[in-house]
Structure 1
Amino acid sequence: MSPSSHAPGPRRPTDAFARQVVMVTGAAGGIGSAIARAFAAEGATVAAVDLVEAPLRELAATVPKLLPYTADLTDEAATATTVKAVELQLGPIAVCVHAAGVLTAAPVAKTTTAQWKDMFAVNTEATFHVGREVARAMIPRRRGVIITIASNAAHVPRVDLAAYAASKAAADMFTRCLGLELAASNIRCNVICPGSADTAMLRASGQEPADAVAGAPDRWRLGIPLGRVAHPTDVAAAVLFLASDQARHITMQRWIVDGGASLTC
């Protein structure tokens, strides 16, 4: 791993999200946990949601003002129950960051129907469930921010990632359509598309950080012009900005955070 891919130094908390409730899904993952930690450092009360309980409890034990919620977001009833529980126990959700996702790499000819359905259930259907339930809570208040973590693979063809890319592309378009519907209610919806980040998901896809930096042109996979994979905190920093009042006039946008790997496609 390049030294420049290490986490940046600590940033001074600003309490920019003090007294706000932020819900982060996929909070047990590399990017999700970085986002949850970042909001907590800025004074937010964080509802950390994931399917796996043990990592959530470990996260809650180390991060003040972070409360764990275990839920299967592919289940619409469980999603509705979780959103209601967060609002009842913590207060109105001001920001929702949907970072939950799964990746299974396989060529189309070897992708099973079960793998396809699983990726769409987690990466697309859960995006719909979360977006719908949070929107229902935010609309009467006429304020809120919804951010979906998609992938640059949603816009650049990738060998062995057809199911993942298609599911993330659907999540991207759903979120931006949601933003158009909710704009009149002063609710902003944006998408962040990370490239390769130094997480367990990257290695689960069969890559190491050095592989992502170098690229593989014969597989329609460009390298990373900045010469490093992202640290999860790089994605968290973009999320913090889009969730803040500084971005109050930004909605329905797709931000690509990939070190230039997709040539801004």
Structure 2
Amino acid sequence: MSPDTEFRGRLALVTGAARGIGAAVTRALVARGAHVVATDRDAQGLDRLAADRPDHPDRLTVRPLDVTDPEAVEALVADVERTVGPLDVAVNVAGILRSSPVTALRDEDWAATFAVNTNGVLHVSRAAARRMVERGTGSIVTVASNAAGIPRTGMAAYAASKAAAVMFTKCLGLEVAARGVRCNTVSPGSTDTDMQRALWAEAGSTDRDAAARRVIEGDLAAHRTGIPLGRIAAPDDVAEAVLFLASDRARHITLHDLYVDGGATLRA
């Protein structure tokens, strides 16, 4: 099958699609023939995404969505299935990061992080899975983080929320496997996104290249190894892993957590 037709005739829902990894996943799916319903809280970001896809405007539908609202998620998925078609793929990318030492972590930041990174995954995956199991087919991919598998200083809320999302996705996958629905996760490391650059800014770095070098080289004081492959990931690197797991090439893969971090965690 030609790469540009791999997802032809399939409908995908992507959350957090306005920028970064979500936008890269959306662009890659559209380029390979899928019709994508791209969602995000950032309506203006969705408009920019749509403006960037003049070659295949018929394959992209943008819809504002707050994944923390279960009723809004259920209503959107129901409307998409009624007006666009049955979902074949759902990709959870929406996420936030609020860094803080645990001793200074505010309750509201902990709750907000879980509301998006964990509850949002529940809301979207549940709504999609309910319909996919009735048809006996479907793929759900959750973008988590390598922080879900190794402790990170200053990132307890983020790491815990992503670890919860990974285990939730695996449990869901176990429940729906017999009905032909596959559920997998992709766990990126440091990736060149707005979230990563905001983290560098919080640390007081104004030199992007210098900040990237510190990540690549590692930081003993923060108990971080470097990145053995010697580079920060691009959003497209993560998108390629997502598309593989969503595709028929991965038809016998479920409950899997694919690390895309250049070896940074030594797969601890």
Residue among 214, 219, 223 paired with 1:220 = 223
Residue among 182, 188, 192 paired with 2:182 = 188
Corresponding residue for 2:128?
Answer: 134
**Separation in 1, partners of 2:80, 2:41:** 16
**Separation in 2, partners of 1:216, 1:82:** 43
The 5-angstrom pairing of residues 7-46 of structure 1 reads 13-46=3-36
Residue among 229, 234, 237 paired with 2:237 = 234
Residue among 66, 80, 94 paired with 2:74 = 80
SS at match of 1:102: coil
Which ranges in structure 2 are unaligned for 5 or more consecutive residues? 202-210
Residue 124 (structure 1) shift: 0.5
Contact 1:97-1:149 within 8 A present in 2 as well: yes
For each residue in 1:231-258, what CA deviation from the matched residue of structure 2 results, as whole angstroms up to 9, or x when unmatched? 0000011111111111100000000000
SS at match of 2:200: coil
**Separation in 2, partners of 1:163, 1:84:** 31
Letter in 2 for 1:76: P
Residue 206 (structure 1) shift: 2.4
Which ranges in structure 1 are unaligned for 5 or more consecutive residues? 1-11
**Separation in 2, partners of 1:87, 1:159:** 42
Q: Does 1:211 pair with 2:201?
A: no
Residue 57 (structure 1) shift: 1.1
Corresponding residue for 1:147?
Answer: 141
Contact 1:24-1:97 within 8 A present in 2 as well: yes
Q: What root-mean-square deviation, in Å, do the aligned CA atoms of Structure 1 and Structure 2 show?
A: 1.1
**Separation in 1, partners of 2:177, 2:183:** 8
The two structures have a TM-score, normalised by structure 1, of 0.94
The 5-angstrom pairing of residues 115-134 of structure 1 reads 115-134=109-128
**Separation in 2, partners of 1:29, 1:97:** 14
For each residue in 1:31-74, what CA deviation from the matched residue of structure 2 results, as whole angstroms up to 9, or x when unmatched? 00000000000010000010110010111122221111101110
For each residue in 1:108-128, what CA deviation from the matched residue of structure 2 results, as whole angstroms up to 9, or x when unmatched? 111100100000000000111
Corresponding residue for 1:166?
Answer: 160
Moved more, 103-112 or 175-184: 103-112
Corresponding residue for 2:94?
Answer: 100
For each residue in 1:128-158, what CA deviation from the matched residue of structure 2 results, as whole angstroms up to 9, or x when unmatched? 1111100111111010000000000001100
**Separation in 2, partners of 1:164, 1:122:** 10
**Separation in 2, partners of 1:13, 1:209:** 32
Residue 211 (structure 1) shift: 2.6
Contact 1:45-1:90 within 8 A present in 2 as well: no
Corresponding residue for 1:110?
Answer: 104
For each residue in 1:193-213, what CA deviation from the matched residue of structure 2 results, as whole angstroms up to 9, or x when unmatched? 000000110011126322321
Letter in 2 for 1:43: G
Letter in 2 for 1:88: R
Q: How many residues align?
A: 254
Residue among 21, 25, 48 paired with 2:38 = 48
For each residue in 1:78-98, what CA deviation from the matched residue of structure 2 results, as whole angstroms up to 9, or x when unmatched? 010111122122211101110
**Separation in 2, partners of 1:126, 1:155:** 20
**Separation in 2, partners of 1:29, 1:117:** 23
SS at match of 1:205: helix
**Separation in 2, partners of 1:180, 1:93:** 20
Contact 1:23-1:95 within 8 A present in 2 as well: yes
**Separation in 1, partners of 2:83, 2:217:** 47
Letter in 2 for 1:252: L
